[in-house]
């Protein structure tokens, strides 16, 4: 089966772009490895960071928490874009601030809330353009990770065989249109729902990200894993058959010849080749 073309609302980011997709519950207290990676990729001491807490029901509290973290790291400037209504996404003040930003961080919460507030707003179109050009580093954690694809997992269950009723899909923000992202992955037993999502969208790559773990997309070429857990790649590029379109929503799905990779800290996945970049150290028996 040849790999289908990827379509969606966004183009691939430029080769200079960096997007950090975080599985949630990242370390905010001790080494802060993932958050520090975002900070450094955003310019370190020269970083000018925008925090978007719109997914949260308590945006002021979560925005202030990340504000304190990036202040402690030494960011040059930080602004919390506390957007609670769609009309605020049209405010030129926020759009002008993005022009000065080197990093944008989207917090956790509810991905449906985040998309309902920001999808198709001038602010989000501006951010998408800056990311595509590689002019800003983007990060999203938990709900902020789920929105990265064109097709987004809005919710669903776990601990069942793959089936269409196990996953609720909608449209995300499209920063990484070639992917379907699931977060809190092994922590919440979400393998079956990611497989269910991929079976309906075999032109996408499924990315399942554990807590305190990040899939760092670097341009068009590679994903690098940062953090304590794993990133699971579900690649249907060579899928030979699925019954997903011919069964009821509650029937179990057959899906043949999926390719599965489980990556840990430092591992890399090559996006164009859909292949693992082997580590320098050989495996030992």
Range of the domain at 162: 18-272
Query: In the beta sheet, which residues pair with residue 79?
Result: 50
Say if 183 falls within a structural domain: yes
Residue 173 lies in a domain: yes
CA-CA distance, 257 to 260, in Å (whole number)?
Answer: 9
Q: Is residue 256 part of a domain?
A: yes
Kindly state whether residue 9 falls inside one of the protein's structural domains: no
Strand partners of residue 209: 183, 231
Q: Is 184 a catalytic residue?
A: yes
> Catalytic residue among 142, 150, 211, 218, which?
142
What's the domain count of the chain?
1
Q: What is the pLDDT of residues 42-81, one digit of tens each?
A: 999 999 999 999 999 999 999 999 999 999 999 999 999 9
Decide if 130 is inside a domain. yes
β-strand partners of 182: 208
Tell me, yes or no, if 160 is annotated catalytic. Answer: yes
Q: pLDDT of 107-143, one tens digit each?
A: 999 999 999 999 999 999 999 999 999 999 999 999 9
Q: Residues 5-41: pLDDT tens digits?
A: 444 444 455 567 899 999 999 999 999 999 999 999 9
**Does residue 279 belong to any structural domain of this protein?**
no
Q: Which of 125, 135, 160, 277 is catalytic?
A: 160
Tracing tokens 């402690």 back to the chain, one arrives at: 72
Choose the weakest-confidence range: 155-159, 172-176, 237-241: 155-159
Strands across the sheet containing 205-209: 179-183, 205-209, 231-235, 259-263
Q: Give the domain CATH number at 80.
A: 3.40.50.880
- The pTM (predicted TM-score) of the whole model is 0.93
Question: Which pLDDT tens digit goes with each residue over 184-203?
Answer: 999 999 999 999 999 999 99
Tell whether 245 is covered by a domain: yes
Map residue 97 onto helix, strand or coil: helix
Whether residue 224 lies inside any domain: the answer is yes
- Annotated active-site residue 186? The verdict is no
Q: How far is CA 275 from CA 222, 223, 261, 268, in A?
A: 10, 10, 9, 9
Residue of 184, 196, 199, 211 with catalytic role? 184
């Amino acid at each position: 089966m040849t790999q289908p073309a990827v379509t969606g609302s966004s183009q691939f980011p430029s080769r200079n772009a960096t997007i950090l997709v975080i599985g949630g519950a990242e370390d905010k207290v001790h080494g802060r490895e993932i958050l520090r990676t975002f900070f450094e990729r955003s310019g370190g001491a020269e970083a000018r960071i925008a925090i978007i807490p719109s997914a949260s029901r308590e945006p002021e509290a979560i925005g202030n928490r990340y504000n304190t973290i990036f202040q402690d790291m030494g960011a040059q400037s930080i602004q919390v874009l506390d957007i609670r209504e769609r009309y605020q996404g049209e405010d030129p003040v926020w759009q002008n601030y993005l022009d000065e930003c080197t990093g944008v961080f989207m917090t956790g919460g509810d991905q449906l809330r985040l998309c309902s507030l920001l999808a198709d707003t001038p602010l989000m179109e501006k951010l998408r353009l800056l990311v595509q050009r590689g002019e800003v580093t983007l990060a999203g954690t938990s709900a902020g990770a789920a929105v990265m694809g064109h097709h987004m997992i809005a919710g669903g269950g776990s601990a069942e065989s793959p089936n269409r009723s196990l996953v609720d899909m909608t449209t995300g923000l499209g920063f990484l249109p070639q992917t379907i992202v699931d977060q809190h992955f092994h922590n919440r037993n979400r393998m079956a729902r990611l497989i269910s999502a991929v079976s309906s969208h075999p032109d996408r790559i499924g990315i399942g990200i554990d807590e305190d773990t990040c899939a760092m997309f670097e341009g068009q070429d590679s994903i690098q894993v940062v953090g304590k857990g794993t990133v699971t790649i579900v690649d249907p590029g060579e899928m030979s058959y699925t019954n997903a379109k011919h069964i009821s929503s509650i029937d179990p799905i057959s899906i043949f010849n999926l390719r599965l990779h489980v990556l840990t800290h430092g591992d890399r996945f090559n996006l164009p080749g859909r292949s693992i970049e082997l580590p320098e150290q050989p495996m030992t028996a």
